[in-house]
Structure 1
Amino acid sequence: MWALIGRIVTDDDLSITAADVTEAIEEYLTSGDEETYAPGGLLVASGDVVINPGCCVGLDEWRDWLGALDGRPVDLGHDPDVLLENRGTVLRLWQDKDQLLRGEVPSPSERYIDIPREDLLGLLRGVHHRRAPSVGV
């Protein structure tokens, strides 16, 4: 819940401006702030490899991953940068620490996770049903 209301009810120094939780939620619901979202995106893990979500992507944007099935680019945020590369039967997810330039691919030594294309829809259904911010491959 804090991911949703934190930006609305804190000052720049993160001190709470609402008197209580009810006031904080009311401020969030009535703010009219079009920039309101739950930051974080999806965390993807496989074995000992973990790809953290980039900033500027909200949990509410998990459906955007469906575009990868049609070969469309998916914005997964930055800091840390996340790159989803279409490799035919798999979607390769890279965590980039150094912010690649457009069109560049991480070096082969970078850690990545291959998501079988045929599994993506089921994984996303699991996220939807569990409301969990992570995907295990």
Structure 2
Amino acid sequence: MLIAILTAAAMLASDSAPQQFDLLCTGLQDFSKRRPEAKDDIRFRVDLKNRRYCLSTCRDTRVLNVYPQHLAFDETDAMLGGSRLQTRMSVDRMTGAYTSIAYMSGRLMEDTKGQCSVQPYTGPVLGERLF
């Protein structure tokens, strides 16, 4: 398993692998409720080389944390009005599994899962106007 992860990471870091691509995440379900709740699809526009991404309409670009096992689109651990907010939104680099989880003061607020697939890159190019 470790060899497969290292091989995939090496391929993604190589010049021959695409460094810019979209991830379309579908079939999203929030399991934090009594009954799973369907959520809208999400499109990430990913630039691995510059470690940036944007969502949907690309109004702004954000920092992408790249790990051998997953791409982390959001990792937050902050205090908000006296309550601790912890979030993590990521995609598994081997399976494409999407996970978004959020806790507020230890209470589960969101537990969304889905599946992502690689799509052709739709921008923006670094330096391009976003709107």
- TM (norm. structure 1) is 0.30
| More contact order relative to length (CA 8 Å, sep ≥ 6) | 2
Pick the structure with more strand per residue: 2
Largest Rg, 1 or 2? 1
- TM (norm. structure 2) is 0.31
